[in-house]
């Protein structure tokens, strides 16, 4: 790979044990089949519901099933590597349904040999955010706190409503400051961040799967100001909702 480069490729591997070490970051997303992988002595099994992020220099032994197909992201160059390698990313983990749909979309584009369009910092930012979100989803499976379970459920099920955080805190029998501290300690993010996460996940689904206009999606998600929705989406995914939708065409 060239210095400061990012590429996406589709790969298949022979069903035999191999060993690799790369000077770049590699992210492996199984699309079909499975892969047994051992990274610096730690073994895992990758299936189409999981992903592995390997830092530079990580020695890994791996063996694919005979029908395995994998979406591979490779990043080189110190600036990209420093931005990518955070404790939120370097691991093997499950991915969310939204992340899985986006990976399938990227795979379909890569199959059409549109890799130059795909290999952009906007795409990289979106992948990174989705993988970090996959880690956050693990926090949501933590044992429920008696004061927070109902509040978390309302934030998930009623994210598009103008929920008042002070009302949620009062209903949980907590002060607003105590509510925020407990919520962050249990779920790894603030209540407002949790609400925004649900809204933006819904936005991605609607942009990919519906013909609703960006304005209609913004109103559907509870935003009276389309510009506010567009700015939030761009800040999270590195592109406007219109640009995100255009990538699937």
Domain that holds residue 120: 5-139
User: In this predicted model, what pLDDT tens digit does every residue of 199-214 receive, in sequence order?
Assistant: 887 888 888 888 899 9
User: In this predicted model, what pLDDT tens digit does every residue of 143-172 receive, in sequence order?
Assistant: 556 777 788 878 777 777 777 888 888 888
Looking at residue 141, its pLDDT comes to 44
Q: Give the separation between CA 148 and CA 168, rounded to whole angstroms.
A: 9
User: Is 31 a residue whose pLDDT tops 60?
Assistant: yes
Of 44, 36, 38, nearest to 13 (Cα)?
A: 36
Confirm if 126 and 238 have CB atoms less than 8 A apart.
yes
Helix runs in 85-225, H state only: 97-111, 115-118, 121-139, 149-157, 165-171, 176-187, 191-209, 214-220
Same domain, 128 and 157: no
Provide the β-strand partners of residue 76.
Answer: 5
* Boundary of a domain, candidates 139, 173, 204: 139
Query: What is the rounded average pLDDT of the residues 96-102?
Result: 77
User: Is 29 a residue whose pLDDT tops 80?
Assistant: yes
User: Is 139 a residue whose pLDDT tops 50?
Assistant: no
Mean pLDDT score of the chain, rounded to an integer? 79
Same domain, 9 and 125: yes
Same domain, 135 and 221: no
Looking at residue 87, its pLDDT comes to 67
Q: Report which listed range, 64-73, 103-112, 152-161, is most confident.
A: 64-73
Q: How many domains are contained in the chain? A: 2
H or E stretch including 236? helix 226-237
User: Is 188 a residue whose pLDDT tops 80?
Assistant: no
């Amino acid at each position: 790979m060239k210095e400061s480069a990012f590429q996406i490729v589709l790969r298949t591997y022979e069903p035999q044990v191999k060993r690799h070490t790369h000077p770049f970051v590699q992210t492996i997303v199984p699309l079909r089949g499975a892969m047994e992988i051992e990274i610096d002595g730690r073994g895992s099994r990758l299936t189409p519901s999981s992903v592995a992020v390997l830092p530079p220099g990580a020695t890994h032994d791996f063996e694919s099933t005979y029908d395995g197909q994998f979406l591979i992201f490779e990043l080189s160059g110190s600036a990209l590597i420093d931005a990518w390698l955070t404790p939120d990313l370097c691991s093997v983990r499950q991915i969310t349904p939204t992340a899985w749909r986006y990976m399938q979309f990227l795979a379909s584009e890569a199959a059409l040999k549109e890799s130059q369009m795909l290999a952009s910092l906007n795409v990289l930012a979106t992948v990174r955010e989705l993988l970090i979100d996959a880690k956050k989803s693990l926090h949501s499976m933590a044992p429920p706190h008696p004061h927070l379970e109902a509040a978390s459920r309302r934030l998930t099920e009623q994210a598009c409503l103008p929920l008042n955080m002070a009302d949620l805190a009062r209903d949980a029998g907590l002060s607003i400051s105590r509510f925020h501290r407990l919520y962050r300690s249990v779920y790894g993010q603030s209540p407002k961040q949790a609400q925004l996460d649900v809204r933006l996940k819904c936005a991605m689904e609607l942009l990919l799967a519906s013909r609703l206009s960006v304005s209609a999606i913004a109103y559907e998600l509870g935003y009276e100001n389309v510009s506010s929705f567009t700015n939030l989406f761009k800040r999270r995914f590195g592109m406007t909702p219109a640009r995100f939708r255009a990538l699937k065409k």
